[in-house]
Amino acid sequence: MTNMTNMTTTTTMTNQFRARVEAFLKSSGFKPTEFGRQSVGDPSFVLGLRRGGSPTLATADRVLDFIAENEATAKRRANRRSA
């Protein structure tokens, strides 16, 4: 039973991560290849996710840091424009 629970948790986390990346791509206008290249140095990173791949924790951390950094920059730019 524990193995099934762990597998479900991993699948859920992978799906949440994938959804987070897709949402960022949509909101930021980044092309998938450019996002992969800039965030982890791999232009096929998003394609791998879309095909069911699961990143290591270290890679996921790098990607999430990249997203956070770029979202903050976009928000600052938007605030400057509206001021």
pLDDT digits (tens, 9 = 90+) for 23-80: 999 999 999 999 999 999 999 999 999 999 999 999 999 999 999 999 888 777 666 6
* Statement: residue 10 has pLDDT above 90: no
Q: Which two tokens stand for residue 6?
A: 């762990």
For residue 29, give its domain range.
Answer: 2-82
Centroid of chain to Cα 25: 8
Say whether 52 sits in a helix, a strand or coil: coil
Question: Residue 8 — pLDDT band, cuts 50, 70, 90?
Answer: low
pLDDT of residue 25: 96
Q: How many domains does one find in the chain?
A: 1
67, 20 Cβ separation under 8 angstroms? yes
Q: Calculate the CA dihedral of residues 46, 50, 54, 58 and round it to 10 degrees.
A: 20
Supply the pTM of this predicted model.
0.79
